[in-house]
């Protein structure tokens, strides 16, 4: 098996310090938390940013400041900006961090219920993000909340809007979307085009079982406070690094070595 790529989703747009005080908001907090996760073994930081009061934002200048501080501490880590942003944001608003030409970005390829909201990604939205990423040489990570979203991503490839190999992130167990069972994960991994890579992010209680399954099945792992604020039932995670450290320990038990950022680039078919 390839070495294991660990993505850390350090803050997201939904969780707050009221849920877990370790959720980082300011550029300094996000950079520190990213650095700790990187030191623990994360080679990709999935990056949302916040205003200092915790409000999610896609503001280009705020992204720029966050990226600058992360880069100071982790010169080689892969920074994957979010184009999902928060529910209700416009496409233009969500696309702002792409203007900074990051190495990688998330591309949500479908619409779903999302808790009590609807996370809207129309075909037009998906094509807009795909074109923008292709134009700028940004590697997309296709976020998949439902099985049909893989078909939407394949359509983008058929239209020549994305380059292969494609990289998918299965988000499993988010309220309103596909569940986080092993059978669901196997169905997903068997549905992507051959030669593609995949990672999985389990939401809440699904984070640990999905991570262990991915380690065994040859996929990659996403963990972090965006997806899960607990270490175990009733016990809050102390930090993003703590969640990454656990994955590293388990991977070692299965003889899967941890990929450095440059090894992750090679596995994902990216140029530095």
Residue owning tokens 């700028």: 136
The residue among 84 and 261 lying less far from Zn ion, judged by its C-beta, is 84
Strands 220-223 and 197-202 come out as: parallel
Residue 168 contacts residue 153 (beta carbons within 8 Å): yes
Residue 148 CB, shortest distance to Zn ion, in Å, is: 20
| Three-state DSSP class for residue 65 | helix
119 touches which of Zn ion, ligand KMH, none (CB within 5 to 8 A by kind)? ligand KMH
Q: Taking the CA of residue 220 as centre, how many other CA atoms within 13 Å lie in the half-sphere pointing to its CB?
A: 27
**CB within 8 A of 240, min separation 6: which ones?**
8, 10, 22, 24, 33, 34, 36, 37, 42, 223, 224, 225
Q: Is 13 near ligand KMH (CB under 6 A)? A: yes
Written as six digits, the tokens of 179 are 């569940």
What x-and-dash track marks residues 68-87 binding ligand KMH by CB under 6 A? --------------xxx-xx
Which member of 132, 143, 146, 184 binds ligand KMH (CB under 6 A)? 143
The residue among 84 and 202 lying less far from ligand KMH, judged by its C-beta, is 84
Written as six digits, the tokens of 206 are 């699904």
Residue 255 CB, shortest distance to ligand KMH, in Å, is: 31
**CB within 8 A of 249, min separation 6: which ones?**
none
Q: Is 57 near ligand KMH (CB under 6 A)? A: no
Vertex 256 angle, CA 252 and 261, to 5°: 105
Q: Is 125 near ligand KMH (CB under 6 A)? A: no
Q: Is 119 near ligand KMH (CB under 6 A)? A: yes
Interatomic CA distance for residues 25 and 261, integer angstroms: 24
Q: Is 8 near ligand KMH (CB under 6 A)? A: no
Q: Looking at beta carbons, which residue is closest to ligand KMH?
A: 84
Strands 235-236 and 49-50 come out as: unpaired
The residue among 4 and 10 lying less far from ligand KMH, judged by its C-beta, is 10
Residue 12 CB, shortest distance to ligand KMH, in Å, is: 6
The residue among 103 and 258 lying less far from ligand KMH, judged by its C-beta, is 103
Which member of 58, 82, 96, 196 binds Zn ion (CB under 5 A)? 82
Interatomic CA distance for residues 56 and 173, integer angstroms: 22
Residue 18 CB, shortest distance to ligand KMH, in Å, is: 17
Window of 17-25, 80-88, 161-169, 171-179 that interacts with Zn ion by CB under 5 A: 80-88
Q: Taking the CA of residue 133 as centre, how many other CA atoms within 13 Å lie in the half-sphere pointing to its CB?
A: 30
Binding site for ligand KMH (CB under 6 A): 12-14, 82-84, 86-87, 106, 108, 114, 119, 143
């Amino acid at each position: 098996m390839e070495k294991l790529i660990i993505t850390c989703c350090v803050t997201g747009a939904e969780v707050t310090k009221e849920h877990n005080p370790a959720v980082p908001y300011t550029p300094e907090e996000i950079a520190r938390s990213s650095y700790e996760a990187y030191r623990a073994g994360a080679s990709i930081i999935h990056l949302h940013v916040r205003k200092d009061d915790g409000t999610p934002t896609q503001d280009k200048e705020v992204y720029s400041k966050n990226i600058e501080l992360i880069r100071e501490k982790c010169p080689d880590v892969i920074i994957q900006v979010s184009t999902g942003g928060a529910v209700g944001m416009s496409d233009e608003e969500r696309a702002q961090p792409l203007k900074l030409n990051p190495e990688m970005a998330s591309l949500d390829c479908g619409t779903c219920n999302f808790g009590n909201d609807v996370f809207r990604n129309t075909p037009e939205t998906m094509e807009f993000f795909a074109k923008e990423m292709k134009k700028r040489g940004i590697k997309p990570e296709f976020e998949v909340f439902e099985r049909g979203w893989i078909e939407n991503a394949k359509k983008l490839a058929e239209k020549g809007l994305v380059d292969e190999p494609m990289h998918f992130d299965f988000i499993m167990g988010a309220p309103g979307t596909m569940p986080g069972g092993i059978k669901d994960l196997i169905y997903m991994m068997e549905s992507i085009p051959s030669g593609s890579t995949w990672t999985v992010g389990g939401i809440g209680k699904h984070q640990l079982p999905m991570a262990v399954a991915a380690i065994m099945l040859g996929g990659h792992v996403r963990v972090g406070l965006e997806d899960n604020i607990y270490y175990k039932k009733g016990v809050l995670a102390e930090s993003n690094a703590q969640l990454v450290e656990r994955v590293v320990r388990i991977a070692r038990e299965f003889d899967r070595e941890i990929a450095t950022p440059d090894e992750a680039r090679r596995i994902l078919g990216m140029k530095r």
